[in-house]
């Protein structure tokens, strides 16, 4: 019994040692290259396509958009949000939506910048300093 176990352990470790460090690195890079992301407007497109053709399988959508099936499932779970994304905004072309730590400050700065741009004011860093 022990001899069989030792034999399999020997075979396993000999295979691990045969594969060189650069080869392991190369295989890991191939895995990383296969990770794809959906831009926000593409996520909206996936939701619209699924609404138009409910018989489409998530596996087929994943192949079409070259992403994982899990990414399609996650996108469709949040379809109410993705269907409300405005495609005219700059954020629609981004991969990720950055969560704002201070939403009130972000909103106040946005209003201030919009008003400054409407009046033709040139914004500089001196205006932000106290």
**CATH at 57:** 1.10.10
CA dist., res. 52 & res. 79, Å (int): 13
Domain with 125 in it: 99-130
90 and 40 co-located in one domain? yes
70 and 82 co-located in one domain? yes
pLDDT for 8-43, tens place per residue? 556 555 655 555 555 555 555 554 455 677 888 888
Number of structural domains the chain divides into: 3
DSSP string covering 46-103? HHHHHHH-TT--HHHHHHHHTS-HHHHHHHHHTHHHHHT--TTSGGGG-SSPPPPS-H
- What pTM does this model have? 0.51
18 and 42 co-located in one domain? no
Phi and psi angles of residue 55, each rounded to the nearest 5 degrees, phi first? -80, -10
pLDDT for 39-94, tens place per residue? 888 888 999 999 999 998 999 998 888 888 888 999 999 889 888 877 776 666 66
86 and 48 co-located in one domain? yes
119 and 129 co-located in one domain? yes
């Amino acid at each position: 019994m022990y001899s069989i176990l030792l034999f399999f352990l020997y075979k396993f470790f000999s295979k691990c040692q045969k594969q060189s460090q650069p080869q392991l690195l190369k295989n890991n890079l191939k895995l990383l290259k296969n990770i794809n992301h959906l831009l926000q407007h593409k996520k909206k497109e996936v939701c619209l396509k699924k609404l138009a053709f409910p018989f489409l399988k998530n596996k087929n959508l994943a192949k079409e958009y070259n992403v994982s099936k899990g990414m399609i499932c996650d996108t469709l779970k949040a379809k109410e949000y993705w269907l409300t994304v405005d495609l005219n905004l700059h954020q629609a072309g981004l991969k990720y939506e950055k969560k704002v730590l201070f939403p009130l400050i972000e909103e106040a700065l946005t209003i201030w910048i919009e008003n400054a741009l409407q009046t033709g004011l040139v914004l500089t860093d001196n205006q932000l300093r106290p």
